Amino acid sequence: MAIAHYHGSCQCGAVDFDIDVDLGHTVVCNCSRCRRLGAVLAFTSKQAFKLNAGEDNLGEYLFNKHAIHHLFCKTCGIQSFSLGTTPDGKEMVAVNVNCLDGVDARALPSQAFDGASL
């Protein structure tokens, strides 16, 4: 796959965004958070992400090394994306592919990531 444009949101629609991302490289993580969320993740640069609505309705959860800002809708509780940095210091977005319109996240090939061991 190649980078394509997608629209996404939380369940209630209060958090609304657009993102350009390659869904050919998705990850399923087994850390204590992702495993419980059932998240399928895809990663892109911060510049390829636009939050259209809901900034004031985002809650934040930090755990472990506090390196990833897990953001969720305060109304419906859905975590549609997270913010962090790549190992070389570039800002990145991890989008929960389940929150993208018209995408079946479980039909995509995914790589397992052992976040539980970190």
Backbone phi and psi for residue 18, each to the nearest 5 degrees, phi listed first: -125, 145
Q: Judging by beta carbons within 10 Å of its beta carbon (0-12, 13-18, 19+), is residue 22 exposed, middle or buried?
A: middle
- Check residue 1 and give its pLDDT: 72
Q: Is residue 40 helix, strand or coil? A: coil
- Check residue 115 and give its pLDDT: 85
- Check residue 117 and give its pLDDT: 87
Domain definitions of the chain by residue range: 3-9+25-117
Among residues 44, 23, 12, the alpha carbon closest in space to that of 104 is found at: 23
User: Which uninterrupted H or E stretch holds 46?
Assistant: none
Please tell me the CATH code under which domain 3-9+25-117 is placed: 2.170.150.70
pLDDT tens-place string over residues 44-62: 999 999 999 999 999 999 9
